[in-house]
Amino acid sequence: MDQCRTATTAALETARYYEPRWPDNILLVNPPKLPASIAALPKAELHLHLEGSIRPAMAQALAKRCGVEISTEEVLRRYTYRDFTEFIETFKWVTSYLRKPEDFGFLAADVCEQLLLQNVVYTEFTLSVGIMLLRGQDPQRNFEAMLAATQPFEARGLRVNWIFDAVRQFGPEAAMDVVGWAHKCKSPRIVAFGIGGDELSLPTKAFEAVYRRVGEYGMHRLIHAGEIGGPEKIREAVEMLGAERIGHGIGAIHDESLMDMLKERGITLEICPVSNLRTGALEIQRGKGATLSSHPFPQLVRRGIPVVLSTDDPAMFHTTLLEEYQHVYAMGVKEKELKRVIAQGFQSAFLSAEEKSSYLKQPA
Ligand SMILES: [Zn+2]
């Protein structure tokens, strides 16, 4: 194991901190079938971590590029987790094969193929630049390889923009470095800066200067908040950092006045139900034994808060965007409401007003 991989491993150990729920039998059983009219609609996917999108076959292919042969049995064994520790082990193992810029390009193209299969026409990939820097990689070279690999997908109907992401527990200085790299890459395709990781590790206030800089550079602002944290984390993100969208934000359900504020200010919550179940965030927000049927998605939609539906780390959490739609339909969200959620995906995108309306005008 080389030195930078060891450093990354240590840092990742602290990146997850709560008890997960893995067994598939806590997903909804025998759900009603998602209407074809919903499945067929063009969609946006706004909360998607590129590094969480490495399918088992892709893991084998990436390893092969590093000269390592992995059998199908082994890769499937690693992708079958019995607990959260095993999940983290797999995440560290699989991302350790993202070594050269071309590896990132290779992965980005594969994720684009997966999105096209689900009729996703617009996405914003979250890129863990914080982890790249930890591994001693050059984010600009990685990004340029990904940009080159994803541009051909435009002609096939998938537009890709990028969010540079920092790790909260690495601190404000490391986050400021990520902002600096986003600026240095000088690409109009880098539309936003975000922070993920351990929501409870450092106070929101510690990142005020970082987000001020993001604003000065003309990028949009978002952050993971209210995933396992309470509603105050979401309020702080909006009031102290100027966050325009919140990753997860399911903690909002506990605070009526916060929900009013999100609705009035048009702050979007990016909801990823299967992720919330797998990571244990749902149990933290809804109590022990919570299942998808107690996910707050339907209430948040009906409260009039801008809500989009996303997958977070689809390959790692064994989900897809269409499955997420299937799940929320099974939770009782109506076809008409799902159409609004799909439209919200474009309304909440970091695109110009003209670009948004060109997507929204497309016939349903
Ligand atoms: Zn996320």
Dump pLDDT digits (tens) for 284-320. 999 988 889 999 999 999 999 999 999 999 998 889 9
The pLDDT value recorded for residue 23 is 54
Assign 182 a pLDDT band (cuts: 50, 70, 90). Answer: very high
Domains and CATH numbers, the chain: 49-99 (no CATH), 104-355 (3.20.20.140)
Report pLDDT for 24: 55
Residue percentage of the chain with pLDDT more than 70 = 90
The pTM (predicted TM-score) of the whole model is: 0.91
Q: How confident is the model at residue 264 (pLDDT cuts 50, 70, 90)?
A: very high
SS3 of the chain: the string is: CCHHHHHHHHHHHCCCCCCCCCCHHHCCCCCCCCCHHHHHCCEEEEEEEHHHCCCHHHHHHHHHHCCCCCCHHHHHHHCCCCCHHHHHHHHHHHHCCCCCHHHHHHHHHHHHHHHHHCCEEEEEEEEEHHHHHHCCCCHHHHHHHHHHHHHHHHHHCCEEEEEEEEEHHHCHHHHHHHHHHHHHCCCCCEEEEEEECCCCCCCHHHHHHHHHHHHHCCCEEEEEECCCCCHHHHHHHHHHHCCCEEEECHHHHHCHHHHHHHHHHCCEEEECHHHHHHHCHHHHHHCCCCCHHHCCHHHHHHCCCCEEECCECHHHHCCCHHHHHHHHHHCCCCHHHHHHHHHHHHHCCCCCHHHHHHHHCCCC
Whole-number Å distance, alpha carbon 271 to ligand 1 midpoint, is: 9
CA distance 136 to 7: 10
Ligand 1 centroid from CA 4, angstroms:
23
Write down the pLDDT at residue 197.
Answer: 87
Name the percent of the chain lying above pLDDT 90.
78
pLDDT at 90: 84
67 Cα: distance to centroid of ligand 1 (angstroms): 30
pLDDT category at 9 given cuts 50, 70, 90 is very low
Residue 67: which of 26, 105, 18, 100 has the closest Cα?
100
- Average pLDDT estimate for 163-191: 97
Q: 215: CA distance to ligand 1 center in Å?
A: 21
CB 176 within 8 A of CB 213: yes
- Is the CB of residue 259 less than 8 Å from the CB of residue 303? yes
273, pLDDT greater than 80: yes
Q: Looking at per-residue confidence, does 9 or 33 come out higher?
A: 33
User: For residue 289, which amino acid is it?
Assistant: G
Residue 178 C-alpha to ligand 1 middle, in angstroms?
Answer: 17
How close is the Cα of 153 to the center of ligand 1, in Å?
A: 24
CB atoms within 10 A of CB 31: 15
Tell me the HSE value of 147 on the side-chain side, using a 13 A CA sphere: 15
Read off the pLDDT of residues 97-132 as tens digits, 9 standing for 90 and up: 999 999 999 999 999 999 999 999 999 999 999 999
> Which range among 34-48, 75-89, 315-329 shows the weakest confidence by mean pLDDT?
75-89
Measured in Å, residue 363 CA sits from the centre of ligand 1 at 30
- Among the ranges given (89-93, 164-168, 244-248), the one the predictor scored with the smallest mean pLDDT: 89-93
Mean of per-residue pLDDT scores for the chain = 90
Per-residue b or e along 49-64, where b marks 16 or more CB atoms closer than 10 Å to that residue's CB: bbbbbbbbebbbbbbe
> How far does the centroid of ligand 1 lie from the alpha carbon of residue 163, in Å?
11
pLDDT tens sequence across 325-352:
999 999 999 999 999 999 999 999 999 9
How far, in whole angstroms, is CA 213 from its chain's centroid? 23
Active site amino acids? 227
CB-based contact 295:31 (threshold 8 Å): no
224 CA → ligand 1 middle, Å: 7
Residue 84 has pLDDT above 70, yes or no: no
Q: Using the mean position of ligand 1's atoms as its centre, give its distance from the Cα of residue 47 in Å.
A: 6
Measured in angstroms, how far is the CA atom of residue 268 from the centroid of ligand 1? Answer: 14
Under a CB-based contact definition with an 8 Å cutoff, are residues 234 and 246 in contact?
A: yes
Q: In what order do the strands lie in the sheet with 268-271?
A: 43-49, 120-128, 159-167, 190-196, 220-225, 245-248, 268-271, 307-309
pLDDT value, residue 27: 66
d(CA 166, ligand 1 centre) in Å? 11
